[in-house]
Structure 1
Amino acid sequence: MALAGVRRYAAVDLGASSGRVIVGEVGGGSGIRLREVCRFDNTPIRVDGVLQWDIESIWAGIVAGLRSYDCDLSGIGIDSWAVDYALLDERGKLLGNPVHYRDERTNGVPEQVDALVPPERLFAVTGIQRMPINTIYQLYAERHSTALRSARHALLIPDLIVHLLTGALGSELTNASTTALLALRRRDWATELFTDLGIRDDLFPPIVQPGSNAGPVTADATGQVGVPVVRVGSHDTASAVVGVPAQTADFAFISSGTWSLVGVELPRPVLTEDARKANFSNELGVDGSVRFLRNVMGLWLLQESLRHWEADGDPQDLPALLDQAASLSTRAVVDVDTDDFLHPGDMPSRIREECRRSGQPVPERPVQLVRCILDSLADAYRRTVREAAALSGKRIEVIHLVGGGAQNALLCQLTADRCELPVIAGPVEAAALGNVLVQARADGAIAGGLSEMRQRMTSVVLRRYEPRT
């Protein structure tokens, strides 16, 4: 039954392993309520040896989710992972699937780009962490391809979905800032970098702001023709940080999923040489905020280990493994950000080899390997939180851990222990919550800045973990 005064907004939240359509209800005196209406797998495919996103399958999941919702919507917003892009021709037709950031085409490419754009200059312009997955390296690797020569437009993944929904072209700011192709101070495309790399500087559409209206849905198949599409913080971490239920400004965040993004929210970027050497990013957020963070490999190590065990005929029950792992003590810790862990494959063997190489006990059993992964993640969180505080001068009293990792009680407790700070876990669907909040504000259903929006999260279930001695 429809509630009087309630506005409903669909958040299309695309993660690296699954997508979901979640409807947020705003008003009616109950804060904000989220309801998942559809969830679908997002499984990459290999075509001629190239790892790609199956954009047809992703679009079908989005359409099914939107069609399945039978109440009136006041808006739709899209958020997704960063850095990957699709190429379109003059008629707006896709020139193939977007290539997956874990494809090996960028191996060795950062060093090639260094010869054209020194790392110090690249960081001074863009403020972005050096990672082989960055859009700048993907584009340079593709510079001689037929697809890129034929392309009229490149669209980041959320901008592609907005285009499929509405026909509109634009590059939303928060996601554009992750590409290492955006001039951070100008908040516009760094055309000088495109020139240096020999790539057209008009490949990406103009920058558009989070909270702006992209236009009404025109895609008949969705069943939502005419519903406004709002450009939210389209990088899922931008939306997730809007969805952090912070009661104080003195917090760090960990957006924990396939990747873990660990950092602090600031009013201004940190572009010091120390920040560059520490490999931190300055990603732009909603309302002019800056997410000063570092990408940590995240639960990918656990997901890929589970996938390998299942493919090897030895499927594992994750809840049982986590219960057993909680009773073990720390035996080995690896650097989760080593490049050997980036690509798909036999993750358990890679972790064991890293333990042998570093002279640590080798986790032979699955439960030991799970404990090694979680200890290693918590250790990486500790290092990153402390460096973020030291480099930014930010005081940290509490850590907010949001996303899928908030459901992992052992990871949350180990993080509190290692960081020696309380950890507040939740919401799990922080990205969808932030997506809905930005839509609702654009629609006039709520008002205020980030602090005021976060005060509306009264119905969010949270769990607090205190550090153990």
Structure 2
Amino acid sequence: MAVKVLSIDLGATNGKIYEVELKDRLTVKEIKRFRTEGTFLPGKDREHFVWNLPGFYEEIKGVLEASDAQSVGVDTWGVDFALLDENGRLVSLPYHYRDVRTKGVMKKAFEVVPKDEIFQRTGIQFMEINTLYQLYSMVLSNDPFLKTAKHLLMIPDVFNFWLSGEMVSEYTIASTSQCYSVPDREWAYDLLEKLSIPTEIFPKVVPPGTVLGKCRVKKGMNVITTACHDTASAVVAVPFEGEGIYISSGTWFLVGTELERPLLSKEALERNFTNEGGYGKIRFLKNATGMWLLEECNRIWKKDYSEIIESARNAPGFQAFLDPDREEFLHPGNMLERIRNYLERTGQKILERIGEISRLIFESLAFNCRWIVEQIKELTGKRYGKIHVVGGAVRNDLLMSFIASATGKTVVAGPVDATPIGNALVQLITLGAIANINEARKIVKESFELKTFEPENMEEWNEGYEEWKKYKEVEI
């Protein structure tokens, strides 16, 4: 008997709604796509970068009303949240994680609570965009929104509340906040109190696969907490055959592996790794910049991505090097100008052509993947034979071959739609249509085409990596 579910996958650039059906195999059909980019709203002091969640909800409602699916699950990016009043109304539009309000806040938090204490308590990587520092910025600015708020919900939790009426937080998305203790499986109330963040606004945390109830938009449809962090959903759909490395590719590259328990070693802290909640396991990983650099460049170029990739393929290699994770590349703006300024400041060749700049980005992303993979191997003490890449960048054969060559490992690319597939798999396990995650991953392997890329020109890539590391390791 066929089982059909809806996967709502809200990314930092696009919102996508998929119909996923299980018969003999999985089939995925995209129903709707819409832009989810943040919006700059003018204020007295500056422009504020926010998310138009009500607009996204309107897009979702129309699809739900016409669907005959048995259930719906929502996943989104991590760290961002909404504040609601006692009646469940938005206090304001939620801030975008790239808003400048968190600049310098992380260091101020360390003056109150030492960095190592925060890591041992939460297990989470340090990034200025984390929920913890967004909230602390509100404490420091005496923000009236924080005083008004009675509830805090992470972004997918907001949609789950609007759809079901239940105000809870799902485990995988809560774990991204650095307000939640992954080791202890509860909100880090003591840490929050030390930073004067109100603790009463944090909701009950429930596991992925919780049935919240019937949908308020579509009669008879179940609302299920999938793995609500998009990376957690993507990892569910990684067709592992054993232990391995995954790269969930999109605006960000999430490079990691699965562990049975959090890894809280001094070395993990020093190398800024994170222990995020997954479906049954810990996602030990590092957040790295992904296609964001290219997306921002293409705001200016306005080219088809296939044209950009072909230009990169024909451009000379290893003309310059950059660290994609530098803070100067984090916020929206003229990325071409920032890259040129960076190359000039570091005494490198200034690249002008689309092919040269895009190839610089692809090579640097590949080198950054190798840098993270080598650290995972050292920190876990395990050997990994393959790298599984899932998500949007899988369509870029050139980048996939670069990652294989840079890391010296076989790259298995696919599925492209790993996040909505993983979202659906959690729903299907909850509905009893699939027994467990092992069966789910077997179904993925049998249902979707996977591409394999082998390393090439290893000597040249090894030399390039040694040169690239100089720019990764040197503070400028």
**Aligned to 2:224, which of 230, 235, 250?**
230
Q: CA deviation at 1:366?
A: 1.6
Counterpart-to-counterpart distance in 2, 1:128 and 1:120: 11
Q: How does 1:15-414 map to 2 (within 5 A)?
A: 15-27=11-23, 29=24, 31-47=25-41, 48=43, 49-69=47-67, 72-143=68-139, 144-219=142-217, 224-249=218-243, 251-287=244-280, 289-309=281-301, 315-328=302-315, 329-414=317-402
Q: CA deviation at 1:59?
A: 0.9
Counterpart-to-counterpart distance in 1, 2:63 and 2:408: 41
Q: CA deviation at 1:325?
A: 1.0
Counterpart-to-counterpart distance in 1, 2:410 and 2:343: 30
CA deviations 1:49-71 (Å, max 9, x no partner) are 100011122112212332343xx
Moved over 3 A (4+): none
Gaps of 5+ in 2: 458-476
Contact 1:7 1:445 in 2 (8 A): yes
Contact 2:77 2:230 in 1 (8 A): yes
**Equivalent position of 1:312 in the other structure:** none
**Equivalent position of 2:462 in the other structure:** none
Contact 2:3 2:22 in 1 (8 A): yes
Contact 1:20 1:62 in 2 (8 A): no
Counterpart-to-counterpart distance in 2, 1:32 and 1:62: 23
Contact 2:70 2:220 in 1 (8 A): no
Letter in 2 for 1:248: G
Secondary structure of the residue aligned to 1:225 is coil
Contact 1:255 1:402 in 2 (8 A): yes
Q: CA deviation at 1:294?
A: 0.6
Secondary structure of the residue aligned to 1:229 is strand
Counterpart-to-counterpart distance in 2, 1:239 and 1:115: 35
Counterpart-to-counterpart distance in 1, 2:423 and 2:375: 29
Counterpart-to-counterpart distance in 1, 2:51 and 2:382: 38
Letter in 2 for 1:189: W
Contact 1:75 1:228 in 2 (8 A): yes
**In the alignment, does 2:445 pair up with 1:453?**
no
Q: CA deviation at 1:452?
A: 2.2
Letter in 2 for 1:240: A
Q: CA deviation at 1:73?
A: 1.3
Gaps of 5+ in 1: 310-314
Letter in 2 for 1:350: R
Letter in 2 for 1:383: W
CA deviations 1:221-241 (Å, max 9, x no partner) are xxx223111111100000000
Counterpart-to-counterpart distance in 1, 2:58 and 2:410: 41
Does 177-186 or 158-167 show the bigger shift?
177-186
**Equivalent position of 2:5 in the other structure:** 9
CA deviations 1:107-139 (Å, max 9, x no partner) are 010011001111000001111111000000000
Letter in 1 for 2:188: A
Does 97-106 or 138-147 show the bigger shift?
138-147
TM-score, normalised to structure 1's length?
A: 0.94
CA deviations 1:233-253 (Å, max 9, x no partner) are 10000000001012222x100
Counterpart-to-counterpart distance in 2, 1:269 and 1:406: 29
Counterpart-to-counterpart distance in 1, 2:61 and 2:339: 39
Counterpart-to-counterpart distance in 2, 1:102 and 1:305: 17
Secondary structure of the residue aligned to 1:305 is helix
Letter in 1 for 2:134: Q
Q: Percent of pairs identical after alignment? A: 40
Counterpart-to-counterpart distance in 1, 2:381 and 2:61: 45
Letter in 2 for 1:195: E
Contact 2:82 2:152 in 1 (8 A): yes
Counterpart-to-counterpart distance in 2, 1:277 and 1:358: 25
Secondary structure of the residue aligned to 1:441 is helix
Secondary structure of the residue aligned to 2:405 is helix
Q: CA deviation at 1:214?
A: 1.0
Letter in 1 for 2:191: L
Q: CA deviation at 1:401?
A: 0.6
TM-score, normalised to structure 2's length?
A: 0.93
Letter in 2 for 1:327: N
Letter in 1 for 2:405: D
CA deviations 1:149-175 (Å, max 9, x no partner) are 001001000000000101101111011
CA deviations 1:69-112 (Å, max 9, x no partner) are 3xx21111110000000110000011111100000000010011
Q: CA deviation at 1:32?
A: 1.1
CA deviations 1:239-275 (Å, max 9, x no partner) are 00001012222x1000010111001111111101111
Does 132-141 or 197-206 show the bigger shift?
197-206
CA deviations 1:331-375 (Å, max 9, x no partner) are 111010000001000001111111122222221112111011111
Counterpart-to-counterpart distance in 1, 2:3 and 2:84: 35
Equivalenced residue count is: 449
Counterpart-to-counterpart distance in 1, 2:322 and 2:59: 36
Counterpart-to-counterpart distance in 2, 1:245 and 1:86: 34
